[in-house]
Structure 1
């Protein structure tokens, strides 16, 4: 009948168009030869300056010039953190044999250098297997880091903070990498000061800063999805009823119902009215379907942080190192999670990031400490924070103490309330809003010593993540 015919035509067109689109989109890409194969300047090959190192637990983009990985990306969940059969003491540092000897970082480069071999993808994130943990000890996953006060303390506590964010069973994706940021000199000129370790010409560059961009997958909220699904069911029922009415009216008009010219005119109006109603009902159903999809899609938590490669006072609030994504992407020269972070989501996150950073800096009691931190991050071009610290604030994000040392969270919570919240239904939430912005407590000396067999001496080349 006519109804089935119309449905068949619509379905066939849809499937055919979709199939053609997918076919030409992907086969065209496969058929296109690489520019490195076709351009005449690459007759003898293109210059190579980096190498992608693919491991079971992480992937690193290793840069020949600096002998650091430009970035390392990893994925883990709470299940990857708990395995009593994995023993860190069995893991040993090793040179990456997949990198040519003249370009790879070497064990001797770190010996006596005064710098730790700092993990970019932490060993403690990958306890799912002994092999998985072992591969994190590749030197292509290392950068020279200050040991005491940074790699063995603040940075390590930061890594613990990220692991804790996976406690709800979510997958966590982390991009970590080194930065070489300039600072203005006395004449206002931008100058980069950084050391190198090893021997010329194959030296390892010591980063001035490190960044982490963290994405924690959200969980679907069924309490939001079910009402949306009920609305969709109602909209679909109405659309089906409208389509049935339109079909009956069209069939009647095709059969010449109504008898005369006047009846024909009436039938024509009825057909237009029925078609309009069917279109409106279908649009409503499509909108309801989109609402279901949006309600089912969870909001992911994302945060970007930049820390100087130096001893950091253990009381410095983590929020002071929060940076806007747009600024970090500009200075690092790369995009993060580009398949998910749209321009709209980036703006939403960055508004919250500036609020969290402001909150963190105002928790630093000494103006000189605040000034030094902002100067070291000057190249990221962050807004100035000139406001004096709140009189009762502490260096920890929530819950201060009054002059008598008594717990007093009221003032601090009021201050946090001023931080811009990420917009509801934006599909994203700032990591500090999701997990708080408080680091674990400072390590006891015994606990630190238990993490590694190193001596704990400032010139030790061991790691503490």
Structure 2
């Protein structure tokens, strides 16, 4: 890892630099959110908009040639099954992605918004309910009870407001596989909501916008000994759902000129903590490589460099404050 990239990750994880924001607001995470409502005894069934995800196929192990003089056969373990890791695929009307069984959070979810999709108003989130995703084996599934009185919101990764084109699509965004524990006041109901609105406003300039969103678990420097450590809370009973330290969004704003058209890329990392609404969004912008190194994912390996543009050089990367908090008071489970 280059020194420059490490500095970027450290800044986003500890709170300095790009960065200063992440450090300033990740050190103290307020927990004054209104408690989420108790789950009903019978959790709501999955809406029809949630497609049956194909069973994850374990990768075929690449076996080394067996030498005649080797007295052991470690590959014999595969006769009992492939231990993993397995990332369950997520597929529903409004999103695609992958689920992390260990963290009980999505690794990433991708959505697609257009001026047309956002102009439709065929759904009302008051009719939607949070639900457990039965496509995930029960042992690895996030449950409604895990969030009950946790102090955290069930934070959409793909926003419900981006799926107004269909009630089925909006319902599908309420699957717990599309959720992560998020700080409510000051983040999920404030700055993060404004950031989601920024993404929607991009469709005023671009005919097609794709967004990948997900959690990060970044290191911070221990002031006692100066060493870097990863520390995050786990909620639930038994504790099983990890609370991310940060969240990322990778934005692909497509100019719509065809398969070789230009794509304005933007990558952002925000701490899972209170953020003042007057903070400039550009302070959370990081190189795409920084998100890839931190997440272990690749976001643009097939996008030719000649087609790439910088989003924040094309548009003004700032948020416009709107009153989401009062609107969210009526949302399910808020």
RMSD: 2.1
- Quick check: 2:208–2:256 contact (8 Å CA) kept in 1? no
Gaps of 5+ in 1: 1-33, 221-292, 346-425, 456-460
2:314 paired residue number: 434
2:234 paired residue number: 196
Structure with larger RCO (C-alpha < 8 A, sep 6+): 2
Q: How many residues align?
A: 263
CA shift, 1:56, in A, is 1.8
1:65 paired residue number: 102
- Quick check: 1:60–1:141 contact (8 Å CA) kept in 2? no
Q: Which whole-Å CA distance do the structure 1 matches of 2:250 and 2:198 have between them?
A: 13
The Cα offsets for residues 147-190 of structure 1, whole Å up to 9 and x where unpaired, read as 00000010010010011111235111111110000111122211
2:244 paired residue number: 207
TM-score normalised by L of structure 1: 0.54
Gaps of 5+ in 2: 1-58, 64-74
Q: Which whole-Å CA distance do the structure 1 matches of 2:81 and 2:61 have between them?
A: 7
- Quick check: 2:206–2:253 contact (8 Å CA) kept in 1? no
CA shift, 1:40, in A, is 5.2
More strand by share: 2
The Cα offsets for residues 249-307 of structure 1, whole Å up to 9 and x where unpaired, read as xxxxxxxxxxxxxxxxxxxxxxxxxxxxxxxxxxxxxxxxxxxx9xx932111100000
Moved over 6 A (4+): none
CA shift, 1:37, in A, is 9.9
SS of 2:149's equivalent? coil
Q: Which whole-Å CA distance do the structure 2 matches of 1:99 and 1:170 have between them?
A: 34
Q: Which whole-Å CA distance do the structure 1 matches of 2:189 and 2:282 have between them?
A: 20
The Cα offsets for residues 343-372 of structure 1, whole Å up to 9 and x where unpaired, read as xx3xxxxxxxxxxxxxxxxxxxxxxxxxxx
1:393 paired residue number: none
CA shift, 1:35, in A, is 2.8
Which of 309, 327, 345 pairs up with 2:272? 309
Question: What are the equivalent positions in structure 2 for 1:320-339 lying under 5 Å apart?
Answer: 320-339=283-302
1:400 paired residue number: none
Structure 1 or 2, whichever has the larger Rg, is: 1
TM-score normalised by L of structure 2: 0.74
More helix by share: 1
Question: What are the equivalent positions in structure 2 for 1:67-106 lying under 5 Å apart?
Answer: 67-106=104-143
Q: Which whole-Å CA distance do the structure 2 matches of 1:327 and 1:168 have between them?
A: 26
Question: What are the equivalent positions in structure 2 for 1:270-289 lying under 5 Å apart?
Answer: none
Q: Which whole-Å CA distance do the structure 1 matches of 2:81 and 2:241 have between them?
A: 26
